[in-house]
Amino acid sequence: MGYSAQLLMTLPEVVLGLGAILLMLVAAWGGQGSTRAVSLAAVAVLIGAGISLMGPASAGGSAFGGLYRADMFAAFAKAVIFAAAAVSILIAPKFFATTSGDDLRPEYPVLILLSAAGMGMMVSAGDLMSLYVGLELQSLSAYVLASFMRRDARSAEAGLKYFVLGALASGILLYGISLVYGFSGTTLFTDIAQAYAGPKSTGLLFGLVFVFAGLAFKISAVPFHMWTPDVYEGAPTPVTAFFASAPKMAAMAMAVRVATEAMGPAVHDWRQIVVFAALASIALGAFGAIGQKNIKRLLAYSSINNVGFALIGLAAGTQAGVASVLFYMAVYVVMTLGCFLVVLQMRDAEGNAIESLDSMAGMSRTRPGLALAMMIFMFALAGIPPLLGFFAKLEVFNAATAAGLFPLAVLGIIGSVPGAFYYLSIIKRMYFDDPAPKYEGRPGLVEGGLLLAASVAISPLGMLVLPCLSAWTALAAKSLF
Amino acid sequence: MEHFPILSIMLAVPAVAAILCLYTNAATARWIALIATLVDFALGCWLWASFDLGPHAAQWQFVEFQPVFGRFAYALGIDGFALMLIMLSVFLMPICILASWEAIEKRVPEYMAAFLVTEVLMIGTFAAQDLLLFYVFFEAGLIPMYLIIGIWGGANRIYASYKFFLYTLLGSVVMLIAMLYMIGVAGTSDIPKLMAYDFDPHVQTWLWLAFFASFAVKMPMWPVHTWLPDAHVQAPTAGSVILAGVLLKLGGYGFLRFSLPMFPEASAQLVWLIFGLSAVAVIYTSLVALVQSDMKKLIAYSSVAHMAIVTGGLFAFNQQGIEGGMMVMLGHGLVSGALFLCVGVIYDRLHTREIDRYGGLAINMPRYAALFMLFTMASVGLPGTSNFVGEFLGLAGMYKVSTTMTLLCTTGIILGAAYMLYLYRRVVFGDLTKDDVKAMPDLSLREILTLAPIAAVVLWMGVYPESFLKPMRADTERLVARIERASPKGDSLPTAGHPAAKPAHEAHGEAH
């Protein structure tokens, strides 16, 4: 295969990489004044990268000696990632303009572009080396983004915490990779799978455990979730929305690919780890959230909880299981972005962001439309039909029962009940309590449009996209098997 | 088959009205809701009138089918059981709207929208022919009810709304796993096909228990009934009517539609559990009802006792029992709904549900006293009223299976008479001593309009139950034939009688 044909397969990352470099130069020369232009250009680059997915990038080929996979699985994950990244750029200007402290600088969209390029590599990696490079590109951009509000102590703390713990996780992952490499003699997924299919050595097993520990950190599954609430709370809200959506999807897709492509034959070994992580995440995400007073912290626990449900699909280890993970994550990304869009409107008359849950009291009377949207997202996150969140849960539990994992499915679904409690508590505040001072944050055209789109997608009308979504995820999952 | 999609239209009318309500003011919303529910009632009457009762009628009528994704399909269709329960829902709905006409003052558009959404979901639950579609409608009903209790409820409404939601959610989620398993094994999510599918008897027990967890909470059966008194007491009047009238029937409908035909062996094996819990429920909750000082709580506990007779009847595995169970469900839906409306009438005047605050209403509210009397008697199960038919049939069916349990459940009728008459005496009879009670006006035209239709139907069901039994008969026969193979051996061992030979002309005369 010619070099140009291989480059064409990696077109999304090429577009993102070149776009990021070009915009960085624009930012360097244009300075603060170029923020708006760079933001719009960055969105255009993401759209371009998304369009390029329709070409050879999703044709199912393998480039650069197996380092890079251009299959439907990666294409699906990238489509979600690029969309979430674009939303994170679009919601930023208003937030930084109204929040006292730092202004939005043109580096913000550039960093998101770099991160998106890294995430593209993560989900397309067919080799542990390219996986690690992609992961680090994504993580390093994320560390900077977390501390983007330089004058805000919480933001700086979030960035530092994320960096220290993220570096630790990368170390664990690298250690696992080195063990796998040492005992299998290769870093290529297909060859690793052969090593796992043969007689298993203790070294390979340890490698597997460490690799999964590293992956668990990236998707913030219990017991490697500790960073999530602090980072989510401290990071600027658009950045938190980004963290909760795109990198989550990327890390989950990466974990799925490693689990099925590289370690597929060892499914019985890693299933125990995934089952434990899933149930522990569901339980901790649910019970940890109950005592929270801050909406961003609560959403952090909600993300831990949701990762647990997605992992149930992975635990099935089947094609349907992989499809259900993609389905779940896609729906989850829309739900969580919707929640953060509501959180962005929570501001007082001076434009200061309010993050306390108590301030949401009586929102249904002061801001009925906003409250209705939030209610839809909350019921959807709780998995109540006929909202889209229910169908996402249905898919993962369907995969788990089809794989015969009944205890896991029963425990998991029972675990959704305490989770429903805190989602309900938000609805209770908004609908049952007496009104607190009104939020003055007004969504502009962009935010309002995005919020409306997310609400409609999650509402019962979203059922119309179900056939399309389930067909696409099934197609994506097929490319891994 | 191309025909008029009446079931979809019955779902669409309140759904569209609900959306319209949200964008109007209070007065318009009331009228929109009333008209929409009346249109749905008219459609329901048309549904009943055109329901084919002939000897070669299909079991499932008005079938609609539209695949959605995977095995999930938009499949609707009704049999006699579903028809009757849909009729109950669409009949009670306009009454609920009328009952909330003046009682609800704040956030009227949202209130009406919530009620209309509830109507959509109830009809959908009864009409769904796809297992997952059923679950969607069944579970989604939690959302509007949670809001109705939480926003428009009484003082302790928050606690009640949480308890209602989480209790019923916990009950239902395990059922979803069982459903997914069934769909995987049987390869279809079509309810009629699943009703004819024979699951492995060992697995049946687990599946049955999973469904039982959900329906027992909905029903509600002792000891998972505790959400009901809280929800009832805190809900606004119309909310209580819908809860008692229709939502409680979802549990019984579930037993009838899923537990019995899909898992006959497990049902037979666990019939002791149902009978035991029913007997405990009848006696225990009746005694609890006897000592209540809150009127709504008393009626709520009486609902649990009545529902226990339903479960007992349904699991009798014979025609009388099942028909009796259905009749109690229909009768109780009307009577307890009417009783909640009666409580609502005086609550709107005095704003208290304490029984001791009233007394002597027969003097200044004679029309009210008469209607309240009728519903009290119907609740007791007086012959000539709806509940008598159902309770008699249900207990007769149960008798064939277990005489002891029937004896225990029959005490419910005596205890029922005790608590209902005691309630009636304290509220309506006695001296009219309290000044504020003296000032209470008799029923207004609107209130009569809400109560009189129910009174008429209660008497109709009591005097000529055949109208209601006939649509269900063929379905009951099919169900009995389906579960006969597992039918538990009864301990009453009834034998056919030996009627004395009658003179020929007399027998001839009877045949006319």
Contact B177 A379 (CB under 8 A): no
CB-count exposure of residue B60 (10 Å: 0-12, 13-18, 19+)? middle
Contact B68 A463 (CB under 8 A): yes
Contact A431 B181 (CB under 8 A): no
CB atoms near residue A167 (< 10 Å)? 14
Read off the pLDDT band of B502 (50, 70, 90). Answer: low
Nearest to A343 by CA among A451, A457, A434: A451
Place of tokens 């309590």: A433
A461: phi > 0 → left, psi -120 to 50 → alpha, else beta; which? alpha
Nearest to B268 by CA among B309, B308, B311, B316: B316
CB-count exposure of residue B162 (10 Å: 0-12, 13-18, 19+)? buried
Task: Report how far apart the first and last C-alpha atoms of chain A are (Å, whole number).
Answer: 23
Q: Is the dihedral of CA B144, B250, A389, B119 positive or negative?
A: negative
Q: Note the residue count of chain A.
A: 481
**In angstroms, rounded to a whole number, what is the distance separating the alpha carbons of residues B491 and B489?**
7
| CA-based nearest distance B163→chain A, Å | 10
CA B508 to chain centre: 42
Tens of pLDDT, residue by residue over A219-241, are 999 888 889 999 999 999 999 99
Structure tokens at A279: 């149930």
CA atoms in the 13 A half-sphere facing the CB of B467: 13
pLDDT at residue B195 greater than cutoff 90: no
What lies within 8 Å, CB to CB, of A36 at 6+ separation is A93
Place of tokens 């209580």: B240
* Exposed e or buried b per residue across B146-160, where buried means at least 16 C-beta atoms within 10 angstroms of its C-beta: bbbbbbbbeeebbeb
Nearest CB to B180 within list A401, A432, A463: A401
8 Å CB contact between A371 and A431: yes
CB-count exposure of residue A151 (10 Å: 0-12, 13-18, 19+)? exposed
Interface of A to B at Cβ within 8 Å reads 365, 379, 384-386, 390, 394, 397-398, 401-402, 406, 409-410, 413-414, 416-417, 420-421, 424, 427-428, 431-432, 463, 466-467, 469-471
**In angstroms, rounded to a whole number, what is the distance separating the alpha carbons of residues A19 and A82?**
14
pLDDT at residue B184 greater than cutoff 90: no
8 Å CB contact between B277 and B311: yes
pLDDT at residue B511 greater than cutoff 50: no
8 Å CB contact between B250 and B218: yes
**In angstroms, rounded to a whole number, what is the distance separating the alpha carbons of residues B341 and B359?**
18
Contact B139 A384 (CB under 8 A): yes
Packing angle, helices B6-22 and B80-99, rounded to 10: 20
8 Å CB contact between A60 and A53: no
User: Which residues of chain B make contact with A394, given a CB cutoff of 8 A?
Assistant: 132, 176, 180
Packing angle, helices B157-186 and A406-431, rounded to 10: 150
8 Å CB contact between A422 and A294: no
Average pLDDT score over residue span B440-447: 87
8 Å CB contact between A363 and A439: yes
**In angstroms, rounded to a whole number, what is the distance separating the alpha carbons of residues B163 and B157?**
10
Contact B180 A467 (CB under 8 A): no
Tell me which of B107 and A322 has the higher pLDDT. Answer: A322
Q: How many helices (H) and strands (E) does chain B have?
A: 25, 2
Return the minimum-mean-pLDDT range out of A217-231, B126-140, B472-486, B494-508. B494-508
Average pLDDT score over residue span B203-232: 88
Nearest CB to B140 within list A386, A420, A432: A386
| CA-based nearest distance A403→chain B, Å | 10
**In angstroms, rounded to a whole number, what is the distance separating the alpha carbons of residues A299 and A126?**
32
Q: Pairing relation of β-strands B61-69 and A61-63?
A: unpaired
Contact B181 A413 (CB under 8 A): no
For chains A and B, what is the number of CB pairs under 8 angstroms? 82
CA A230 to chain centre: 17
What lies within 8 Å, CB to CB, of A390 at 6+ separation is A380, A383, A384, B136, B139
CA A264 to chain centre: 23
The reported pLDDT for the residue numbered A25 is 94
For B498, phi and psi rounded to 5 degrees?
-120, 85
pLDDT at residue B356 greater than cutoff 90: no
Contact B136 A390 (CB under 8 A): yes
**In angstroms, rounded to a whole number, what is the distance separating the alpha carbons of residues A252 and A307?**
8
Contact B177 A413 (CB under 8 A): yes
8 Å CB contact between A414 and A422: no
Packing angle, helices A35-52 and A11-30, rounded to 10: 170
8 Å CB contact between A438 and A348: no
For A125, phi and psi rounded to 5 degrees?
-65, 135
Average pLDDT score over residue span B216-236: 86
Tens of pLDDT, residue by residue over B415-428, are 989 999 999 988 88
Q: What is the mean pLDDT of chain B?
A: 87
User: Which residues of chain B make contact with A463, given a CB cutoff of 8 A?
Assistant: 68
The reported pLDDT for the residue numbered B508 is 52
The reported pLDDT for the residue numbered A323 is 93
CA A87 to chain centre: 13
Residue B387's H or E segment, with its range, is: helix B386-401
CB-count exposure of residue B287 (10 Å: 0-12, 13-18, 19+)? middle
The reported pLDDT for the residue numbered B510 is 47
pLDDT at residue B459 greater than cutoff 70: yes
**In angstroms, rounded to a whole number, what is the distance separating the alpha carbons of residues A393 and A399?**
10
CA B354 to chain centre: 26
Determine the residue type at B27.
A
Structure tokens at A68: 């890079």
Residue ranges of chain A with per-residue pLDDT less than 50 = none
